[in-house]
Structure 1
Amino acid sequence: MADAAGRLTKLAEEVLGAPLPVRIRAWDRSESGPPGAPTLVFRNRRALRRLLFKPGELGLARAWVAGDIDVDGDLYDALDLLAGLVWERGSDAPKPQRAAVLRALARPEVRHAARELLTLVGAPVPPAPPAEESRRRRGPLHTLLRDKEAISHHYDVGNDFYELVLGPSMVYSCAYWEAPDATLEDAQRDKLDLICRKLALQEDQRLLDVGCGWGSMVLHAAREYGVRAVGITLSEEQATYARKRIAEAGLADRVEIRVQDYREIKDEPFDAISSVGMAEHVGRARYAEYADALYALLRPGGRLLNHQIARRPLADEETYHVDEFIDRYVFPDGELAPVGRTVAQLEEAGFEVRDVEAIREHYALTLRQWVTNLERHWDAALRLTSLGRARVWRLYMAASALSFERNRIGVNQVLAVRTPEPGASGLPLRARTWTG
């Protein structure tokens, strides 16, 4: 296939109706596209087969995870240039894009070019998806068993791998940065402390941490504020790791880690609840149940801090679809909601929402630091997991950082109170003293 890059560029531009923003280098060493731009490298013909048999985001993701496609140049720059074509999130773009592609493929000259490519790429069958792709899930969304399987797919990758990416804090959520040049460890400690101050934690209060991860939140709250804490997770590996950390800190008498779903807790009431980076897994079908359950677990006057990624609202909410790459490779069954819907559903459950803090720029900084950690320890990461899994993480974290930077998605801390009768919230007149 002489000048494969030129042919690929021509076909892509015919379909897109616009110049391709990146260069292409093909397996025959041919190159095409704007000079100086990041280069999308097609390492073999199988990469093209993946895109032809599954056009768009999922085909590109499979090619990336399998190592059939790579980027020569800055990954962030390449993803930013490609965002409007395949990686755009939080907008109405995908359906119009698919319609435009179908219209383009209906043109005779494009059909001819596509047929020519199909005859030259080799085997006329689609390649098998990479092993890292989650299996197709059936049945109702967000049952206890299905949620446990989805959480295991993402979190049971190996604690040693997470240590490389997250650093010593082992906090897998947005940090809170005093300045861009602060350390990740300081920023994660500041985030944990900010949550504790928003919850106004006091010695011997009962704290429930929903989705406790590797135990960082309950560990900080027990050590620094003297609370008695329960942390729940659906990941066996996380629970084992968290219990070891707590025992080593001498806090086993104050902190309990359970492998348990929030819908299974029966030992209420709690004085405070933190839910950090967990509600994205709940899904719209179960969010009212989630809000009702947390309300019931709190004592009157108790506070909830809900830290949650949000997407931009759509003109027609029924058009919302879960990102295929994220659903297949990262967070199976995960769903994002606009912050307004989250606030409304918490209030419908009975909460009084008292504060909403948007911190999306903080998540972009956090993700870029995680990518740096992964790239710095790449060889060690490959000893701990598969090459495909490491590539999944590098792609999803870099793409997510850009999504936060471009305001395609955000993250918010919502402070809500189970306000008792006759209506005293327990907050000071100037509640935001915690940010000082």
Structure 2
Amino acid sequence: MFWQKRLKDFVARMRHYALPLRLRLWNGLEVDLGDAPMVTFTIKSLRGLRHLLRPSVASLGQAYVEGEIDLEGGIDDVISLAVQLSAHNTRHGQVRHGPRLVRHTRRVDAEAIAYHYDVSNDFYRFWLDKEMLYSCAYFRTAADSLEQAQEQKLDHILTKLDVRPGQTLLDIGCGWGALVLRAARKYGARALGITLSQNQYDLARQRIAEAGLEDRVEIRLQDYRDVSGKFDRIVSVGMFEHVGLRNLRGYFGRIHDLLADAGVCLNHGITSTDPDSAEAPFGGGEFIERYVFPHGELPHLSFALKEMAAAGLEATDVENLRRHYALTTHHWSRRFEQHGEQLKAMAGERRYRIWRAYLAGCAYGFNSNWIALHQILATKAGIGDATPLPLTRDYMYVGKA
């Protein structure tokens, strides 16, 4: 049969790389691509075999999610082998596309946020920290716990912003409310958090009520484009990935308009490491677009800074936290693996497979410099001596040694 010849050719080509991978077909045939296999791909159909014979991270991920391939072995080893198969596939391995320009409307963005975040709060509780922070943590050492690192992230952001008692703070994409609660409790700010996720909105409001902070913290189910007023401090954590490349200037422009003249803003977001593309290599971005973040687009740091400047904001500090996100996603993936059966029962087999592959793949991607995470601190351009920030970065690290 034709597929048998193609499989034979594929195996002969891949054996050259001595990959520790076993292939098991639906008819019982087993083939090892190298010695001492660490991972087994069970190919359950011809459709699954077609994905294998033209491997990319996207095609192999699709086959796994749709149940056409089953996996045995540690998830980190699985991801590594999927990447190696993709890299050795000369037809598809190095393909990169130009940035996708997605049309972002209020309805499209709200639907995309609901798709990703409104799984259920309990689903996220299994693998996030106790405060449910779904963004890059800040590790002083690699031995820090996830809980420590996430608390340190909140303080790192609020200290960078130089938040003072009585100041107003806007959190665009506030998640489950941890940052606005921290800003009010520890720094004395009056905070407004906005989200497009109903589940996040409900739990954040509950947390604020339980903390007795309704007079200082407000949560709204609101699009950032519909916010009015002026704020001393504006922060956006893990949000601008959803904005869209063609909307980035307008997004920063809205922040500019909402920021007080002597205000400070901080954008914390995932960035592409390829200046010519918003894609991760080997089809990783395609998998995330299809199954995890519909309409998500990653700008390169240079593009983000260009659009920020065009919107009238001056970047005063930029920090690359790529290694911190590699550690964060590694923690998430480990916790996800530990609670796999409960998560599968809660979310179903398909969604469980999506998130399992996504979290482990992100850990690999950040560790391999496919994607990065940058914090950009900014003020309004042209304000001269009115800038509220100290002359040096020393203030960011007081008491952190």
Mapped contact 2:278–2:299 kept (Cα < 8 A): no
Deviations 1:238-289 (A, max 9, x none): 10011111111111111111111111112x1000011001011111110010
Q: Does 1:384 align with 2:346?
A: yes
Aligned position for 2:24: 25
Mapped contact 1:79–1:87 kept (Cα < 8 A): no
Letter in 1 for 2:299: A
Q: Does 1:313 align with 2:274?
A: yes
Mapped contact 1:302–1:419 kept (Cα < 8 A): no
**Aligned CA-pair RMSD:** 2.8
Gaps of 5+ in 1: 98-138
Mapped contact 1:322–1:334 kept (Cα < 8 A): no
Aligned position for 2:324: 362
Deviations 1:30-82 (A, max 9, x none): 23210223324225125526628986444322221133323322221232233
Mapped contact 1:23–1:35 kept (Cα < 8 A): no
Deviation (angstroms), 1:25:
2.2
- Separation of aligned partners in 1, 2:279 and 2:335: 36
133, 147, 161: which is aligned to 1:171? 133
> Alpha carbons of 1:346 and 1:16: their partners in 2 closer, same or farther (altered >3 Å)?
farther
Mapped contact 1:50–1:60 kept (Cα < 8 A): no
Deviation (angstroms), 1:18:
5.5
Q: TM-score, normalising length from structure 2?
A: 0.88
Letter in 2 for 1:394: R
Mapped contact 1:50–1:63 kept (Cα < 8 A): no
- Separation of aligned partners in 2, 1:421 and 1:212: 28
334, 337, 355: which is aligned to 1:375? 337
Letter in 1 for 2:219: I
Letter in 2 for 1:336: L
Identity across the alignment (%): 40
- Separation of aligned partners in 1, 2:63 and 2:146: 32
Deviations 1:377-399 (A, max 9, x none): 12221232112111111111111
SS in 2 for 1:247: helix
Aligned position for 1:304: 265
Mapped contact 2:22–2:30 kept (Cα < 8 A): no
Aligned position for 2:65: 65
Aligned position for 2:48: 48
SS in 2 for 1:381: helix
Mapped contact 1:322–1:335 kept (Cα < 8 A): no
> Alpha carbons of 1:425 and 1:376: their partners in 2 closer, same or farther (altered >3 Å)?
same
Aligned position for 1:37: 37
Aligned length: 387
Deviations 1:132-159 (A, max 9, x none): xxxxxxx961111001111111001000
Structure 1 consecutive aligned stretches of length 4 or more whose deviation exceeds 6 Å: 14-17, 52-55, 318-322
Q: TM-score, normalising length from structure 1?
A: 0.82
Aligned position for 2:187: 225
- Separation of aligned partners in 2, 1:272 and 1:87: 44
Letter in 1 for 2:154: L
> Alpha carbons of 1:180 and 1:60: their partners in 2 closer, same or farther (altered >3 Å)?
same
Gaps of 5+ in 2: none
Q: Does 1:12 align with 2:10?
A: yes
Mapped contact 1:57–1:87 kept (Cα < 8 A): no
Mapped contact 1:270–1:297 kept (Cα < 8 A): yes
- Separation of aligned partners in 2, 1:370 and 1:166: 6
> Alpha carbons of 1:406 and 1:215: their partners in 2 closer, same or farther (altered >3 Å)?
same
Deviations 1:290-325 (A, max 9, x none): 0100010000111111001111124x4599998221
Q: Does 1:323 align with 2:285?
A: yes
240, 256, 260: which is aligned to 1:295? 256
Mapped contact 1:40–1:69 kept (Cα < 8 A): no
- Separation of aligned partners in 1, 2:12 and 2:379: 55
Mapped contact 2:262–2:383 kept (Cα < 8 A): no
Mapped contact 1:219–1:255 kept (Cα < 8 A): yes
Deviation (angstroms), 1:337:
1.2
Aligned position for 2:387: 425
Deviations 1:351-406 (A, max 9, x none): 11111111111111111111111111122212321121111111111111111111
> Alpha carbons of 1:330 and 1:63: their partners in 2 closer, same or farther (altered >3 Å)?
same
- Separation of aligned partners in 1, 2:286 and 2:87: 10
Mapped contact 1:42–1:48 kept (Cα < 8 A): no
Deviation (angstroms), 1:17:
10
Mapped contact 1:356–1:412 kept (Cα < 8 A): yes
- Separation of aligned partners in 2, 1:402 and 1:145: 32
Deviations 1:1-21 (A, max 9, x none): 9xx9x8675343567796473
SS in 1 for 2:191: strand
- Separation of aligned partners in 1, 2:334 and 2:296: 25
- Separation of aligned partners in 1, 2:96 and 2:331: 34
Letter in 2 for 1:33: L
Letter in 2 for 1:10: K
What does residue range 152-163 of structure 1 map to in structure 2 within 5 Å? 152-163=114-125
- Separation of aligned partners in 2, 1:75 and 1:318: 26
247, 263, 272: which is aligned to 2:233? 272
